Amino acid sequence: MVFALAAALAAALATGCREDSLPIADSRGREVEAGRRIYEAKCASCHNKNGDGRTITAGRFPYANLIDGKWRSDGSPAAIEKQVRRGHDPMPRFEGKLTNEEIRDVVAYVLQLSRSGSGGAAREAGGPTK
């Protein structure tokens, strides 16, 4: 799954992310853009706008950092979705507060954020340290 996403991303980069890129890339872009707005409204107060988690609320929880390539679980879309739905003390659960679509969008954004962070670079350099 991660590799499929990476391949899709590579394909998007190869086409230069032009306006006339494939429809699937367009819909993915919309998802991420919607996710960004949700993230900034509901998540950035703890996870910081850049995703590094260095905020007063979440700063002492290492896993609040979403861009270091280290995950409490496996960092898969399903695991991220589960954390968003159910929460994990002190993170609140968002099940019922966000629609299924909003949860999907915000998960897509978190994945994009994590790839753009230092964690993505570290992964490319040789994989996450577990």
Residues engaged in binding ligand HEC (CB under 6 A):
42-43, 45-47, 57-58, 61, 63-64, 66, 71-73, 80, 83-84, 88, 90-92, 94, 106, 110
Q: How far is the CB of 78 from ligand HEC (least distance, A)?
A: 11
| Amino acid identity, position 69 | G
Closer to ligand HEC by Cβ: residue 29 or 87: 87
DSSP 3: H
Alpha-helical runs (H) found in 43-76: 44-47
Both tokens of 87, joined, read 């929460």
Tokens representing residue 62 in the block? 């290492």
Of residues 18 and 60, the one with the C-beta less far from ligand HEC: 60
